[in-house]
Amino acid sequence: MLNKKASRQRRSRKTRARIAEQRTVRLAVHRTNLHIYAQIISACGNKILASASSVEADVRKDLANGGNKAAAVVVGQRIAEKAKSAGIEQVAFDRSGNRYHGRVKALAEAAREHGLKF
């Protein structure tokens, strides 16, 4: 019997293995109760090319709560802008085993609207 955390980790391992085979840049999302984080990681997996989170001062001054959909939308917009400035347009979406629902979905859709393709 697996618990929730072990199940999520199993799903994330499968996703990361598939993305590693593709040898593409990935957009990794990490979600906690209070905040949401997004990182663009190089194809070889050893370098962070861009990052955005609801912890950043620019984001926090506009939002009262970093753990809701509004914060996820802002983080999605910022990660797309930072990726474009770094010359990245195409990424693989790594949701870290979380369901494509709620905050994870809001972040992904905001990043797509601002020109990131995945």
Domain that holds residue 103: 4-113
Would 118 be classed as within a structural domain?
no
Domain total of the chain: 1
Would 26 be classed as within a structural domain?
yes
Angle between helices 69-85 and 103-113 (to 10 degrees): 40
Burial of 57 from C-beta contacts in 10 A (0-12 / 13-18 / 19+):
exposed
The verdict on pTM exceeding 0.95 is no
Would 102 be classed as within a structural domain?
yes
8-26 pLDDT, tens digit each = 999 999 999 999 999 999 9
What CATH number is given to the structural domain containing 10? 3.30.420.100
68-82 pLDDT, tens digit each = 999 999 999 999 999
